[in-house]
Amino acid sequence: MLLDENPATLIHHTIGNFNIHPDKQAVTRINDSLSTLQQSRDLRMREAESAMRKLSRNLHSRLTQHEEAVSAHDSGKHAAEMVELDTKKFRIAKAATELEIESERLESELEVLKERLADLEAQGLEGDEMTRREREMDDSTILRLKIFRSLGIDIEPDEAGNFNRAVIRNSRKGDVHVVNIDSKFSRFFYANYFWSTMQG
């Protein structure tokens, strides 16, 4: 009987039945994914900044070459080189603009991820209030079903998940009774009916 068992053993079994290990693993995986994603975003931002610096140096080098070309060549050749340099300058400016837009997008994603991480850390390992309530409700339902089953009563759900059918087994008489539970009758009525069926 329950009172004959060591309370520490009962408490240990009770804690084990809550089974929070999968929740801890899920939170750990989320944190690992967020950390990996943030590292990836940081790496892409550094690569974008490095590319922008490289393009800036390239632009400066081209401008220097342009200045040297202006001083060393005639006006006709100079005009042709100017057109070529303008084209290259336009391409470089376009690439720099695209890199800047991508950098802003990555920064925005990083902020969203930081907010999500802050929400998860604020919720803790057990999740938000609604998640805890749903888990407690599920645990309570499971506990009630186990108690009924220990008494020889199986409560069966319908397709919508509502428990509206009971199968009562009387092991002494070898009888099986199937009861459809109707909301118009009280719980007290069904409790008396179940009890009398088990004892009958």
Give me the percent of the chain exceeding a pLDDT of 70. 84
Inform me whether the pLDDT recorded for 89 exceeds 80: yes
Residue 172 is predicted with a pLDDT of 72
Return all residues near 58 (Cβ < 8 A) that are at least 6 apart: 92
Is the pLDDT at 39 greater than 90? The verdict is: yes
Query: What does the pLDDT read at residue 59?
Result: 92
Helix (H) / strand (E) containing 79: helix 75-123
* Domains in the chain with CATH codes: 129-199 (3.30.160.430)
pLDDT of residue 74: 65
pLDDT tier, 182 (very low <50, low <70, confident <90, very high otherwise): confident
The pLDDT confidence band at residue 128, using thresholds 50, 70 and 90, is low
- Angstrom distance (rounded) from CA 35 to CA 16: 30
Cβ neighbourhood burial of 142 (10 Å; 0-12, 13-18, 19+): exposed
Q: Let me know how long the chain is.
A: 200
- Contact (Cβ atoms closer than 8 angstroms) between residue 92 and residue 58: yes
User: pTM to 2 decimals?
Assistant: 0.30
What are the residues whose beta carbons fall under 8 Å from the beta carbon of 59, sequence distance 6 or more? Answer: 89, 92
CA atoms of 2 and 195, how far apart (whole Å): 22
Q: What is the pLDDT of residue 112?
A: 86
**At 168, which helix (H) or strand (E)?**
strand 163-170
Per-residue pLDDT reduced to its tens digit, 9-28: 877 777 777 777 887 888 89
* Whether residue 1 has pLDDT greater than 60: no
Query: How many CA atoms does the CB half-sphere of 165 hold within 13 Å?
Result: 8
Cα–Cα–Cα angle for 38, 44, 50, rounded to 5 degrees: 135
Q: Quick one: average pLDDT of 149-173?
A: 78
Task: Give the Cα separation of 191 and 157 in Å (integer).
Answer: 18
> Residue 157's pLDDT is what?
78
Provide the token pair at 146: 């186990």
Predicted local confidence at residue 127, as pLDDT? 56
